[in-house]
Amino acid sequence: MTVSEHEAGRKRFPWRGRLVRSGTGPASTANIANIITVIRILMAPAFVALLLADDGRDGTERVWAAVLFVVAIVTDSADGIIARRQNLVTDFGKLVDPIADKVLIGGALVSLSILHELPWFVTVLIMVREIGITVFRFAVLSDRVIPASRGGKIKTVLQAVAITLALFPLWNVFGDWVQWLNVILMTLAFVATMWSGIDYLWQAWRHNRTAAASQRT
């Protein structure tokens, strides 16, 4: 078999390759990092179902929903670390990982809005930003890779912390000041989300302007 035939064979069978071990050969689409990502996607509807089933009663279902959310957030870091450390990065993982994040965060925000615990305008604006920037990054992927900015990383942490605090009914244990703390954190997460989205667009505009100027010269 020639080298070109071998390469074509690997493209036809993306499930072949390394599942866990590190190496320089092709990684399977079904590698451990991608499996964790898919599990995170499957956690989202289960988490949403538990939260809505509780219907604001702050009972067992809500606690389990909060636990599932935290586990899913932790696996968000785990799959990326494993993929990079073991050289298991695949096109499937690049595509699905941000989708998993948006499904999880979006599910949490929409559920909190349905339960009247978060204004709908906050949910709508955050989701428009998240989906819009994700689509934009994929649209320019063939031209360049837009890495996560510092502001993007900060907003991700703030979103995770604010939503986690909103999910666990800690106000029943520590008092109403927990809800005020959650309002502050959710506000910071909202501001960071909007600001990082504007920053992405600003950087893209500057890049396009610089590229256009270099072509003229």
Rounded CA-CA distance 66/185 in Å is 17
Q: What is the pLDDT of residues 127-162, one digit of tens each?
A: 999 888 878 777 765 565 555 567 778 888 999 999
Considering its fold, how many domains does the chain have in total?
A: 1
Q: What pLDDT is attached to residue 60?
A: 95
Structural domain of residue 162, as residue ranges?
23-216
Rounded CA-CA distance 126/160 in Å is 13
Rounded CA-CA distance 181/43 in Å is 27
| Per-residue confidence band for 1, with pLDDT thresholds at 50, 70 and 90 | very low
Decide if 9 is inside a domain. no
Identify the CATH number of the domain in which residue 117 sits.
1.20.120.1760
Q: What pLDDT is attached to residue 8?
A: 46
pLDDT beyond 50 at 14: yes
Neighbours of 94 (CB within 10 A): 13
| Per-residue confidence band for 9, with pLDDT thresholds at 50, 70 and 90 | very low
Q: What pLDDT is attached to residue 209?
A: 74
Rounded CA-CA distance 174/182 in Å is 13
Q: Using CB atoms within 10 Å of the CB of residue 77, give its burial: 0 to 12 exposed, 13 to 18 middle, 19+ buried.
A: exposed
Phi, psi of 27 (to 5 degrees): -95, 140
Decide if 18 is inside a domain. no
Decide if 180 is inside a domain. yes
Q: What is the pLDDT of residues 37-47, one digit of tens each?
A: 889 899 999 99
pLDDT mean across residues, the chain = 82
Rounded CA-CA distance 117/106 in Å is 14
Decide if 5 is inside a domain. no
pLDDT beyond 50 at 7: no
Question: Residue 69 has which token pair?
Answer: 């959310």
Determine what percent of the chain is predicted with pLDDT higher than 70.
Answer: 80
Rounded CA-CA distance 112/115 in Å is 5
Decide if 98 is inside a domain. yes
pLDDT beyond 60 at 121: yes
Decide if 57 is inside a domain. yes
Decide if 2 is inside a domain. no
Decide if 178 is inside a domain. yes
Instruction: Report whether 126 contacts 190 (CB < 8 A).
Output: yes
Q: Tell me which of 216 and 107 has the higher pLDDT.
A: 107
Q: Tell me which of 159 and 213 has the higher pLDDT.
A: 159
